[in-house]
Amino acid sequence: MTKVKIGIIGAGRIGKIHAENLLRQPHAEVCAISDPFANEALRSWAAERGIATVSENSDDLLADPALDAIFICSPTDTHVPLIKQAAAAGKHIFCEKPVSMDIAQTKEALDAATKAGVRLQVGFNRRFDHNFRKVRELVQAGDIGDPHLIKITSRDPAPPSPEYIRSSGGMFMDMTIHDFDMARFLSGSEAVEVFAYGSVLVDPAFAQYDDVDTAIITIRFASGALGVIDNSRKAVYGYDQRVEVFGSGGSVAVNNDYPNTAEVHTAEGVRRDKPLHFFLERYNEAYIDEAVQFIASIAEGRDVPVSGADAYQAELMALAAKRSLQLGRPVKLEEALA
């Protein structure tokens, strides 16, 4: 397999995670990284890892004919123009979620990639988690019959900073969007209606930005199945990530991942370690696998495992949830789009 030459736009936490993962892949070569705040620390970091080019301007990467693909790890408001530029330059694209905060702009970006004939994968890394992937396989194999109920619990260990809240796009677009994608992934059906309840119970800062930190969302799928997602920005015991699919022939559920499975039983009670602390620990292998699959799709000429269409549907569900919270009633996805 020929090596895929890659440029990374955005050298923040997620950009560096992708770089580190790609550098360990035999069929990928990270050739360049750009960030408007590139400094000597970044240049030193890149040099230690053999990344030849560090630039303050993403245009340098997009204009480089040697690069086959671009990882877009910059802020969300840059995604659409960068996707359009990368597509026009004939680069395959990996973009972090969401594609944008505006569903019309997202469609424009996806259309640009399709028109250019480049592959576009979006970073819904939870699809690559070993637990959730197994649930999907069992559901698809018919082990639990027809899915009737999909239950997803997703709770962060601590709330983000007010600065992050201000530009996050809100809980549904920033946090629940992963769960919306997972609901589609596990149910095998498209959502047709969403009903969202939300409260501010963790940090008053969320209310300042017209956001919530605690939510329950119900989903009606085209198949007739129903879904429930519960979210919180603060679970004092750690990162809480669980799913269950109940069907006509049984059910399948997965629990949290833990540092180990040791349980201590004494006269005082039973104790064990808390769940893995946050997404970097819980989904470390998933981040690696999504990059591996993207590289393979380019090298082998096959479809990416998470398409722009998947991102579009998740964003549409987030939009419907936000509208539902505002109106206090269920919202059909077609209404949210209108």
**Domain range list for the chain:** 4-118, 126-285+314-337
pLDDT of amino acid 164? 93
* Same fold yes or no, 4-118 and 126-285+314-337: no
Amino acid at 186: L
pTM: 0.94
CA distance 187 to 185: 6
Number of residues assigned to the chain: 338
C-beta of residue 89 within 8 angstroms of C-beta of residue 169: no
Q: Which CATH architecture has domain 126-285+314-337?
A: 2-Layer Sandwich (3.30)
Phi then psi dihedrals of residue 32, to 5 deg: -155, 155
Q: Which residues of the chain have pLDDT under 70?
A: 1
pLDDT at residue number 1: 60
Does domain 4-118 fall under CATH 1.20.20.10? My reply is no
- Which tens digit of pLDDT belongs to each residue from 42-73? 999 999 999 999 999 999 999 999 999 999 99
Name which of 65, 47, 55, 63 is nearest 11 in CA terms.
55
* Burial category of 249 from C-beta neighbours within 10 Å (exposed 0-12, middle 13-18, buried 19 and up): exposed
Helices 13-23 and 284-300 sit at what angle, rounded to 10 degrees? 60
